[in-house]
Amino acid sequence: MRYIAMKCGQCGAALPPRSRWSVIDCSYCGARTVLDGSSIVLRAEYKRALAEVAAERAGRSALRLEGQDYELASGPIRGESCDVYAGWRCAPLPQAVFVKIPRDKAGAARLERESATLEELQASAARGAAYFSQSVPEPVAFGAVSGGAWKGRRALIVRRRSGFVETLADVAAASGRDPRHSVWIWKRLLEVLDWTHRAGRAHAALVPRHAVIHARDHGVMLVGWSASVALGERLGEIWSADEPFYAREALDGAPLSARADLVMAARCVAFSLTGRPDDPGRALPAPLQELLTPWIDGTSPGPNDAWTLREAVSAAASAAFGPPKYAPLKSPAWAGSR
């Protein structure tokens, strides 16, 4: 008899045996799957294998949170107030995660705000949530570490998605500053912002290190949500090194509108072109330059709506470059990818 493990195509969880070509729902993630059940795995053999994997992984635990052990694979990446480690859930079905550990009490408070914001976004019913919620970190656990090196400290664990390995700052420094890349990055930023604004929140700290790029798939994930506020609220804090990216309303302490995020997104695009948030240089063709420059200056009359601006970017890009065409991004982590 040939033994195979039957797994969900979406999350990799084990599936129960069924008759040939059954349609079943994964009990772990809910995905509907068509299963060829002509080959089976014996329950006893499968349980023994799970126990062996669980025992082996438990020995690697670096911290324990909410009853689950996690191992660390790399890091730390030093953020504003937290250290970030790549890691894995120590379980028979491991999950790739990032572990955020605050360095002080102020960092712990910021981490708590970030956790609450991410939970709110993941629970949002705003149009497009099923898709765009994947463009912000998905919380796995948050609370006091109960075991390991950081026992008693607060920690936030979020899902680590494959391929999102470099920030916009990393890519801008290594990509040769092709304007076509800056255009698709701008469009992805606006798409995610449109959803977060409809969910009622401003990111409020949209700087290059908080935009994580998937170079091959031309995707963008927004991280760094500890400063996020509800639209109409005032920004609580500003990192002085990031002041050139902030809109005037944020610096003046005014209630934040969607416009504040749109200005920051435009300045991130300028940074991707020249390394400066206030200067897009001369690489962009005229239609895009005319659209971007007023947003960088903070003088654009609008529209103060992310999706409408995204459509304007698409129209300007078509006028500048012709029909959309995939432009490979040669970034350090995706060198040679096509």
Kindly report whether the global pTM for this prediction surpasses the value 0.75. yes
Residue 177 near residue 166 (C-beta atoms within 8 A)? no
Pick the CATH number of 166-334 from 3.40.50.1980, 3.30.1740.10, 3.20.20.70, 1.10.510.10: 1.10.510.10
Burial class of residue 291 in the structure, from the number of CB atoms within 10 Å of its CB (0-12 exposed, 13-18 middle, 19+ buried): buried
Q: What are phi and psi of 51, to 5 degrees?
A: -65, -40
Q: Which helix (H) or strand (E) holds 186?
A: helix 179-198
Match 């026992």 to its residue by tokens.
151
The residues spanned by each domain of the chain are 1-36, 60-159, 166-334
Backbone angle region of 170, left / alpha / beta, with phi > 0 → left and psi within -120 to 50 → alpha: alpha
166-334: same fold as 60-159? no
Side-chain half-sphere CA neighbours of 71 within 13 A: 13
What are 209's two structure tokens?
């290190």
Pick the CATH number of 60-159 from 1.10.3260.10, 3.40.50.720, 3.50.50.60, 3.30.200.20: 3.30.200.20
Nearest Cα neighbor of 74 from 65, 62, 82 is 62
Match 């939970």 to its residue by tokens.
119
What are 287's two structure tokens?
């239609």
Tens-level pLDDT at each residue, the chain (338 residues): 455 556 776 677 777 765 345 666 777 777 666 555 555 567 788 788 877 877 777 667 789 999 889 999 887 888 888 999 999 998 777 899 999 999 999 999 999 999 999 999 999 999 999 999 999 999 999 999 998 889 999 999 999 998 998 999 988 877 567 899 999 999 999 999 999 999 999 999 999 999 999 988 999 999 999 999 999 999 988 888 999 999 999 999 999 999 999 999 999 999 999 999 999 999 999 999 999 999 999 999 988 999 999 999 999 999 999 998 888 887 766 654 43
